[in-house]
Structure 1
Amino acid sequence: MSTLIFEQMPFPYISQIHAAIPVIASSTGAVLFLLSRILSEEESKPLYRTNIVLQILFLLVGGVGLAFAMTKHHFSHTHPIDLLIHKATLNYDNYLLQASASKNLEDAVREYWKRYRQHPPPGFDKWFEYATNRSSVIIDDFDQIHENILPFKAISPAEIRDMTHKLATNPFNDLGAISIRMGQVKVQEGIKPTHAWMVTGAAEMIENFAQHLPDMDLVFNLNDEPRVAVPWEKMLLLKQAAHARLPIPQEELLDRWSGDRQLGWAPVEPADQTNQTIFTDGAWRGVFDPYVSAVCPPSSRVRTRRVWNRHDICLSCAAPHTMGQFPLDFNLATEICHQPDLAFLHGLLISPASFKVSQELIPVFSQSALAGFSDILFPSPWNYMDKIEYKPSKEHPDPEYAQKDNSLYWVGSTSEGYSRFNEWKGMPRQRFSHLINNNTHSQVSVLLPAGKDQYQYKIMDGSALGKELNLRTDVHIADPITRCGDCDTQRDELGTRSWVDFQAHWSHRFLFDLDGAGFSGRFLPFLQSHSLPLRTGLFRQWFDSRVISWLHFVPVDIRLHGLWSTLAYFAGVTSPNAGTHNPKEPKMLTDAHVNEGWWIAEQGRKWTEIALRKEDMEIYFFRLLLEWGRITDDQRDVLGYKL
């Protein structure tokens, strides 16, 4: 039937239908994916459902409308990025409405109960005072903390404390501990010097509010890679057991920590007391099938389907989170369970340099993790301690957006995973460098103007993007290439350049941000600047729910197939015939969307100044540790804050 329709249709329309299919598939796939989230237990909150319904309506009107325009008129009258920017403003308004609803302590207590169906922990009033005294714009939305803590309700406090001791006292585990006693913070001795700053930085954060915390010990992940991959079936049972524990009436609450808490924590000094470990070492081999896909439901694509074709882009894998080539939202794009091709698209999943992982639920605090992993996320000491910072100077100023060099910039190391037999060909940093510098003359699809306010996907030789379209880039792998047994092969194919001062970033209009073996520490400094951050990757951090794609930064799919179209939109495209004497030929095929790029860059910069400050890291960590204090208290079932 479909063949007959194509044969009867005028020839010029056939190619347009082919061009529209990815848009229709993306919109339809995204609608089905979002509907599944409405039905899921984790996304059952009314405000969250409202936001997802708005996204579905946007997709139906915007995505299918865009596809209709492509089939009826041979092109789209509306650029998808215009629609996505508009959607981002709606998402931001909806987010603020529910994240900052409480205006006083009483409101915050009631909102806490409405969201989480439990009473706030003891010390909640101290936290609220701490947050409001530091002008926090986020008071109510700490769903990430709730998600991280919830399954631990199924494990007894004594067992959690015993786990903590065993984890902290074996150097093989690559963990470091902090002890809190009587409001004083102490860092474990014997942590390997190259990684001790992580625990020291966490201690510096805690010291600001330690006087309000109960006695406890904490263990922190010293590796970049996440550590806790509990299979979906096992996690389901833990969450069901957690939900079965009903809260007690408010009048029966005990609003104080157990008086003998310190007796429940065995000493974690020195750091070599035991050789017991719960971790399996999965370094230097594929971890997607044995560990990562296991965190997804049995019906998910990563557990029911496999993608073996590594030469072509799996558009159906990207469809649920994209409109054409463009991600709807960074958090949707980092959902793993609908993307089986990710097994070959990230260094952590292909061949991690380090991967000590547990498939049992254990109390490990990490700076970042993959979606579905059970590491407890906390604000990164890397950013808190300014290991890389936004610090423009006379030598490296940060001019206004319009005054910057109209180019895409990235220089970085090959830190994602360990490559021995050309595994690097699937790693985003190497793929990114290869794509931009067109080392072997590949073809790419670019959404380009096809007339006034009209757009059409066009297949082009990769070498033409810089020459014909004048899309300027400065992208290089930094010397030396590391974590490899095939270093010479990578160097011959990709080339390298020397490291430059980090502050040199600010002269460029577009700054690219990529994951390494863990999260990228550059993202927050990029947000602070007047440049426009473009971000791709898989790792989640504590702040991802409060940073809005297409409003504070520009998301790029990890397959990178939409990168050139994104750059063409923001940087502008030079006419191939520019410079000729034809007066009817415009100099630019399309002008740069300078206002849109400037607006996103400034929105991100201003939001960072009020919602991603060091004070906000402390506020998040304070609330997290109050929740953790209750989870590890023997009387946790009756503990809670009473007005």
Structure 2
Amino acid sequence: MSRKPNQQRITLTRPRRRFPRAAILCAVAVTLGLAFTFFFLVTAHTQGTAYAEEPTFERSSSLPRHRYLPSGLLRSNPRGRHPIYDLIGDAERAWQEKVDKQSRTLEEAVAEYGRRYRRPPPRGFDKWWDYVQKKNVSLPDEYDQILEDLGPYFAYTPRAARALQSANAGQMGTYTIHSNPATGQIELETYNFGDSPGVIHALMMRVKAQLELMRGYDAELQEGQEVEGIERELVAATGEWQATFRSDDGPGDFNDWEFTQMLKDKVEDDDFVKWAETPDMTYRGWASACPPDSSLRQALYDTTAGQLDKTEKYFIADHRKAMNPCWRPDLTKISGFLASFGQGPGPQERKKLVFSLSKTQGLHSDILSVPNDMADPWFEGSEDVAWSDKAEDRVVWRDWTTGVFHHPNMPWRTSHRVNMVTTLTAKSGDRPVLPARAPSTPVGTPHVLDAGEVNRALADVGYIIRPIQCDGGACEEMETMFDWRRPLPMQKLRKYKFLLDIDGNGWSTRFKPFLAANSVVMKATIFPEWYMDRIQPWVHYVPVQMDMGEVYDILTFFNGNVDENGEGGNDALAEKIAAAGKDWVGRFWRKEDMIAYTYRLFLEYARLVSDDRQRMNFVPSGPALQVQGQN
């Protein structure tokens, strides 16, 4: 590989640490806090105050800053301090600011809603607030994802919105639920899961899990002497409606940027789109979903648009932006999900108004719902391992060959999981790695390390059991490409300080149990999920690029320099992030938090499809701010 003149070639004669190969290997991915935390609020928002320590790192005034790019990446400046110091400090400040500004009363929440969305909250907002208060649901203002998803559809008349929904009801791989005022219940209306009994059984379990969220797990609200379930409150507030869900893991409603922007403009002007208006059907592939000035759109005419300088070092500063292929064209080649479509799908004549468990940032218009069938006994039932008792400093990963269909007609050899395993198991080659340095010292340029030595010191990754999702000779080719490992149960994974969560076919079943393991979760994904407004990268987890471009730099920052016998590491910072992630799961990813999101989502959705949207606005009886509605 090419090397900058000031990069130093290091030969590793003394690795920092040699680890024995584990006797039990694998973490099966099934398709279907510590009080010490340095930043967290110690009381719920309803109790008034959140407490946190001062940010770990203030911005350096003596060393040059790094460059923050529109793609959500930070480009390292060799004359600045190690970028991770800035990323952690900035993230801590952003999280504390978010926590501090949350509404504490219904009146404040109504006013904040009006400020953000320029319309009143939906009918039933007060009952939702009662639930949030009673269940100590934190960050009650942070539900931007819901109206980011639903907002453009307010450009359709209620009748047209319902037509978009009903056009998908009964399609293969969908199910539809019905809010029935006559019974006060939300019921399964129809489904189409094909003919396989096994598939039908598995997907019906997914339906059941979704309905449990809608029903609030039989949770109850106390009002005077009456006790009523969440389901009955939701139906009473919203009336009759139908909603259609995709049953698989990935998204399916491809976006068109110009058409969606037109919808947003219509909403802004309090106007409606005509049913005859449809997107421009010119084929641009994935670029159709992106604004004209985006890198992916520009790449139609300039193949170098958005390309990164491979001699520089980059870290994720804004995880949402860094997930967006519009500004990261390379993701359309790296992500197996995106690469499977080649240059991208053709344009859709109609939007779909369909709920999905995951979507891409920028490319899809699916309405995010909350996956509730995440429990997997493989990830549960083991005791916590204290940070000081974790025997392994390496990052661990075991999983199936998901993420792409491996076939001669598919670009699977360059897909994200194949690239990750190939990179982190290589026995030869060069790996440029930023050295760990004190916060008062310039980070400098990368040291070029031997791939085999650095991989043995920092990584323990591998595919498990046998190839799956493959055909046409790819299975046999993969058999010879990789060493196949056995599954690692959660009690083994908990002994590692670093757990890697990289995309499979869609949303992750691993992220929650990994966060709960008191380990640092390193997450590589293109799929934002329902909690994205409610979690802070570099505080609760460490974001990693899909191509693993900075994975060695991150591990070296925390563990110390492999070529210097572990000197310069920041183990205490890793311990803080691990503890913060574990504490976050216990405070922000309870069943009550999933119910609160789902409850509010369908208050909003019901207003969208109601014939009288004004009647579906929340009308406060107290001094809360009243905001004029739109559409």
Q: TM-score range by the shorter chain?
A: 0.7 to 0.9
Q: Deviations over 1:605-642 (max 9, x none)?
A: 11221112111110011011001111111011443111
Distance 1:359 1:226, change over 3 A: farther
Name 1:610's counterpart in structure 2: 587
Contact conserved, 1:411 with 1:476, CA < 8 A, in 2? yes
Name 2:318's counterpart in structure 1: 329
Q: Is 1:401 matched up with 2:387?
A: yes
Task: Report the 3-state secondary structure (helix = DSSP H, G, I; strand = E; otherwise coil) of the residue aligned with 1:15.
Answer: coil
Name 2:371's counterpart in structure 1: 380
Distance 1:168 1:447, change over 3 A: same
Paired letter, 2:166: H
**Partners of 1:62 and 1:300 in 2: CA distance:** 34
Q: Deviations over 1:228-265 (max 9, x none)?
A: 11210110111111122289xxxxxxxxxxxxxxxxxx
Name 2:231's counterpart in structure 1: 210
**Partners of 1:604 and 1:423 in 2: CA distance:** 35
Superposition CA RMSD, Å: 3.3
Contact conserved, 2:436 with 2:557, CA < 8 A, in 1? no
Flag the structure with more relative contact order, 1 or 2, with Cα contacts below 8 A and sequence separation at least 6: 2
Name 2:398's counterpart in structure 1: 411
**Partners of 1:465 and 1:553 in 2: CA distance:** 23
Aligned residue runs from structure 1 range 154-173, under 5 A: 154-170=155-171, 172=172
**Partners of 1:85 and 1:514 in 2: CA distance:** 21
Which structure carries more helix by proportion?
1
Contact conserved, 2:174 with 2:191, CA < 8 A, in 1? no
Contact conserved, 1:219 with 1:364, CA < 8 A, in 2? yes
Contact conserved, 1:408 with 1:510, CA < 8 A, in 2? yes
Aligned residue runs from structure 1 range 18-417, under 5 A: 64-65=64-65, 76=79, 78-98=81-101, 100=102, 102-170=103-171, 172=172, 174-182=173-181, 183-192=184-193, 193=200, 194-208=202-216, 209-213=230-234, 214-245=239-270, 290-305=284-299, 317=307, 324-351=313-340, 358=348, 360-372=350-362, 373-383=364-374, 386-387=375-376, 390-393=379-382, 397-404=383-390, 405-417=392-404
Contact conserved, 2:176 with 2:243, CA < 8 A, in 1? yes
**Partners of 1:242 and 1:77 in 2: CA distance:** 45
**Partners of 1:359 and 1:564 in 2: CA distance:** 45
Contact conserved, 1:388 with 1:522, CA < 8 A, in 2? no
Name 2:602's counterpart in structure 1: 625
Contact conserved, 1:382 with 1:388, CA < 8 A, in 2? no
Paired letter, 1:365: F
Q: Deviations over 1:165-216 (max 9, x none)?
A: 331223x3x1111112122122245543132222211101001222122222
Unaligned runs of 5+ in 2: 9-57, 68-76, 194-199, 217-229, 273-277, 621-631
Aligned residue runs from structure 1 range 376-525, under 5 A: 376-383=367-374, 386-387=375-376, 390-393=379-382, 397-404=383-390, 405-421=392-408, 423-438=411-426, 441-449=428-436, 453=441, 455=443, 456-466=445-455, 470-471=457-458, 473-485=459-471, 486-525=474-513
Distance 1:381 1:638, change over 3 A: same
**Partners of 2:346 and 2:358 in 1: CA distance:** 15
Q: Deviations over 1:314-336 (max 9, x none)?
A: 895458xx993321132121122
CA displacement at 1:376 relative to structure 2: 0.5
Paired letter, 1:361: K
Q: Deviations over 1:505-530 (max 9, x none)?
A: 21111000011111211011111121
CA displacement at 1:460 relative to structure 2: 2.4
**Partners of 1:597 and 1:131 in 2: CA distance:** 32
Contact conserved, 2:307 with 2:329, CA < 8 A, in 1? yes
Unaligned runs of 5+ in 1: 1-12, 18-57, 68-73, 248-277, 279-288, 577-587
CA displacement at 1:602 relative to structure 2: 0.8
TM-score (norm 2): 0.76
**Partners of 1:61 and 1:336 in 2: CA distance:** 34
Q: Deviations over 1:470-510 (max 9, x none)?
A: 32x22111222112231122221122222232443211110
Distance 1:331 1:574, change over 3 A: same
CA displacement at 1:129 relative to structure 2: 0.4
Contact conserved, 2:316 with 2:544, CA < 8 A, in 1? yes
- Percent identity over the alignment is 25
**Partners of 2:331 and 2:59 in 1: CA distance:** 24
Paired letter, 1:409: V
**Partners of 2:377 and 2:348 in 1: CA distance:** 30
Paired letter, 1:609: G
CA displacement at 1:159 relative to structure 2: 2.3
Paired letter, 2:549: H
Name 2:628's counterpart in structure 1: none
Match of 1:596 among 562, 566, 573: 573
- For these two proteins, the number of residue pairs brought into alignment is 517
Contact conserved, 1:178 with 1:199, CA < 8 A, in 2? no
Name 1:43's counterpart in structure 2: none
Paired letter, 2:287: S
**Partners of 1:504 and 1:446 in 2: CA distance:** 28
Contact conserved, 1:572 with 1:591, CA < 8 A, in 2? yes
**Partners of 2:496 and 2:614 in 1: CA distance:** 54
Distance 1:65 1:165, change over 3 A: closer
Contact conserved, 1:378 with 1:542, CA < 8 A, in 2? yes
Name 2:529's counterpart in structure 1: 541
Contact conserved, 2:306 with 2:329, CA < 8 A, in 1? no
Task: Report the 3-state secondary structure (helix = DSSP H, G, I; strand = E; otherwise coil) of the residue aligned with 1:490.
Answer: helix
Task: Report the 3-state secondary structure (helix = DSSP H, G, I; strand = E; otherwise coil) of the residue aligned with 2:373.
Answer: helix
